[in-house]
Structure 1
């Protein structure tokens, strides 16, 4: 018995040591920053950046990694202190619940081993989160609320138009105030149960991508096997999301699913992090026809920052993607959609946002257009469409 207890003690000690060591190592590998700064821009660009009233980004997966985002990190791309350093007003924090082994942009199977299971165990998460996608979604929602509660009214969880208006007013008198919204990356988190949609809505989620890297109960992924459109369950979910006032995110959806959603949705959609095929011809990116349809529905398109969405070098291609959407359907449909902390290498972290302003100035964008891209479009979209 004594040997058994010693053995169990050693195993437990090794496990808890692993929970301290492994998650940071994994995140360092999965979320590199190509240029860690400091990020220096021209006096003109910095002056305009400092004068921006509202800066917003539509996609960040920081909740996945187990970092305390109330503390300034030495890894990853986003946390609350770096949001404040960047004078960011609103960040969409997206919940990842499953990713396939050997994840790629072309072809993934739904039954591939799930990377997130290992991460849940390595992080020391409750066993209830080890195998339940729904529990993972609810747990990450609670994590964000806990982080916000620690901020003593200098951080807002935005769930409604009133919440957003309070954030806007609070930031006028206190620049340290920041806002956060919750999204989910992939409707597989619902585990095929329509009742779970209301559960995540009640947990604060206001945006959900229908698919991620593989096909699920809702339909086909742009990176899956079938490339099919909405299933009957997917149609049911879209209808309920419209009723609840939850935004549909078309990032990662198959072209057929994009068309099906746009044919039936009664509300504007979001593409939270994407590129455009005119800049990088990838099945992950939006065609001109899709961009036109999204704009015709009053939607908004977040341009991603990583090479598999925009190509390399990233920054000029980010600007080229924004310019293409502007020229095709209008500046009001363009937004930042970084995919920070999303298992991607990015050219800069959130404190590098002034580099975008400088590049936009150099490309001839007007001050009004730059303000729109950097956050005014997101603010106005949510003021119009949040309940």
Structure 2
């Protein structure tokens, strides 16, 4: 008995050490930056940046890694202190519940080993989360709720138009108030259940991407094997999302799903982090026809920051991708969707957003256009479409 207790104690110590060391190490390896802060821009760019009323980013996976987002981190790309430093008004935090081993842009199988399972265990999450995608999802939802509550009056969980209006009003007198929205990257998180769809809505989720890196119950991924459109379940889920007020996010979806959603959705769609094929010809990026169809339905297209979406060097290609959408369909349809903390190498963390403004200025964008891209388009879109 004594030997058993000793052995158990040793394993517990190893486990506790792992909780404190393994997730931070993994994150530091998966979410580096090309250039570390602080970042400097021209006085003219900084002055314009400081005049911006509403800055927004539509995709960040920071909830995955187990960091306390109320504290300024020394790794990764986003937390509430850095959002304030960057004067960001609204961040969309997205939940990743499963990621295939060997994840790649070309082809991933549905039965590949899941990278998130060992990370979930290493973070010290409750056993009920270890092998349940919906439990992992609801746990990350609760984490965001807790972070916002810990922030007190300095943060708002945005679930409705009224919440967004409250944020806009609060920031008139206090620019340090940050809004947080919640999305899901990959509909596999709801495990083929409309009841689970209702549960994540109640938890605050207002955006769901049908697929991520592999095919699932919704249909085909841009990086899966089938290239299929929406399944019957996928169609039922999209219909229910429209009814509830959950935006469909077309990032990572197969071309067939993009067509199916645009054919059937009664609400505008979001593409939360993407590139465009006119700048980088990749199967994860949008074609001209897709951009035009999304814009024709009042949607919004957010440009990602990493090389797999825009190519290298990243900053000029971010600007080129924004310009491409503007020139094809209009400035009102383009926004920022960094994919921060999404297991990507970012050119800069969120405090480097003034570099985007400088790049847009150098490319000849007007101040009104820069305001639109940096957040006014997102504000207008959600004021028009949140319930």
Matches within 5 A, 1:203-282: 203-282=203-282
Cα RMSD over matched residues? 0.4
Partner of 2:20: 20
Partner SS state of residue 294, structure 2: helix
Matches within 5 A, 1:3-42: 3-42=3-42
1 CA distance for matches of 2:231 and 2:194?
13
2 CA distance for matches of 1:191 and 1:337?
26
Partner of 1:199: 199
Deviation at 1:152, TM superposition (A): 1.4
Partner of 1:112: 112
2 CA distance for matches of 1:214 and 1:312?
26
2 CA distance for matches of 1:176 and 1:324?
33
Give me the TM-score of the superposition, normalised by structure 1.
1.00
Per-residue CA distance 1:184-211 (angstroms, 9 max, x = gap): 0000001011111110000000000000
2 CA distance for matches of 1:371 and 1:339?
20
Partner of 1:326: 326
Deviation at 1:177, TM superposition (A): 0.4
Matches within 5 A, 1:1-387: 1-387=1-387
2 CA distance for matches of 1:62 and 1:152?
20
After TM superposition, which residue ranges in structure 1, 4 or more long, deviate above 3 angstroms? none
Per-residue CA distance 1:84-118 (angstroms, 9 max, x = gap): 00000000000000000000000000100000000
Deviation at 1:137, TM superposition (A): 0.6
2 CA distance for matches of 1:27 and 1:288?
35
Q: Which runs of 5+ in 1 are unaligned?
A: none
Deviation at 1:311, TM superposition (A): 0.2
Per-residue CA distance 1:313-341 (angstroms, 9 max, x = gap): 00000000000000000000000000000
Deviation at 1:153, TM superposition (A): 1.1
Deviation at 1:176, TM superposition (A): 1.0
Partner SS state of residue 84, structure 2: helix
Partner SS state of residue 153, structure 2: coil
2 CA distance for matches of 1:301 and 1:288?
12
Deviation at 1:146, TM superposition (A): 0.3
Deviation at 1:37, TM superposition (A): 2.0
Give me the TM-score of the superposition, normalised by structure 2.
1.00
Number of aligned residue pairs: give it: 387
Partner SS state of residue 28, structure 2: helix
Deviation at 1:43, TM superposition (A): 0.7
2 CA distance for matches of 1:28 and 1:376?
32
Partner SS state of residue 150, structure 1: helix
Partner SS state of residue 153, structure 1: helix
Per-residue CA distance 1:276-309 (angstroms, 9 max, x = gap): 0000000000000000000000000000000000
Deviation at 1:241, TM superposition (A): 0.4
Deviation at 1:38, TM superposition (A): 1.3
Partner SS state of residue 94, structure 1: strand
2 CA distance for matches of 1:23 and 1:46?
35
2 CA distance for matches of 1:302 and 1:296?
16
1 CA distance for matches of 2:38 and 2:167?
28
Deviation at 1:175, TM superposition (A): 1.2
